[in-house]
Amino acid sequence: MIKKAVEVALNEQINAEFHSAYLYLSMSAWFHSVGLAGYANWMRIQYQEELAHATRFFDYVNERGGNVKLSPIGEVQVDFKGTVNVFEETLVHEQLVTSLINKLMDIAIKESDHATKSFLQWFVDEQVEEEANVEQILHNLKLIKGEGQGLLMMDREMQTRVFVDPFAGAKA
């Protein structure tokens, strides 16, 4: 049975993951509105990843005998100042998610919940990768000043990204 403090924190994370998905879907819509289908695709994949994360947390709470409590998803930003701005916002958001995952790990450690610590380690590692990917894209965008032929070349590259469910075949 999952401890109450861990259950509450995991339920908050489920909401945060759904919020992240909603934010990335909003960013995808914005990119579509400005004619950057590749960037829209990249954000759509982010959306799918966040849904997979939320579902993984959802399944874990259930597997441990907890009660999932879904909360309303907060409003997300819909207007952006440009491609560089979107990825600046994305980096800030991923850093927030990292802090949330770290706080979850702190709670699991405090509660001596070794199963949850083990479960969360994948997410700790994932956040290192997420931040590094966004930082690289942001660096490249800044090199091209977020415009011109470089922007279009990056847009084509972003179009090649495909969703791979990180939990396919994994037990909850």
pLDDT at 170: 74
Question: Which pLDDT belongs to residue 172?
Answer: 57
Query: Which regions in the chain score pLDDT beneath 70?
Result: 171-172
Q: How far is CA 147 from the centre of its chain?
A: 26
d(CA 88, CA 79) in angstroms, rounded, equals: 13
Domain ranges (residues) in the chain: 4-158
Rg of the chain over all Cα atoms, to the nearest angstrom: 17
Enter the tokens of residue 51. 């849904």
Domain 4-158: CATH superfamily, name plus number:
Ferritin, core subunit, four-helix bundle (1.20.1260.10)
Q: Residue 162: what pLDDT?
A: 97
Q: What is the pLDDT of residue 135?
A: 98
- Give 30-96 as a DSSP string: HHHHTT-HHHHHHHHHHHHHHHHHHHHHHHHHHHTT------PPPP-----S-HHHHHHHHHHHHHH
Q: How high is the pLDDT of residue 31?
A: 98
Q: pLDDT of 19-34, one tens digit each?
A: 999 999 999 999 999 9
40 close to 28: Cβ distance less than 8 angstroms: yes
Quick one: pLDDT at residue 17? 98
Task: Work out the percent of the chain whose per-residue pLDDT is above 90.
Answer: 97
Write down the pLDDT at residue 171: 67
Instruction: Report the amino acid identity of residue 73.
Output: I
Which pLDDT score is estimated for 169?
A: 80
Q: What is the CB-side half-sphere exposure of residue 102 using CA atoms within 13 A?
A: 8
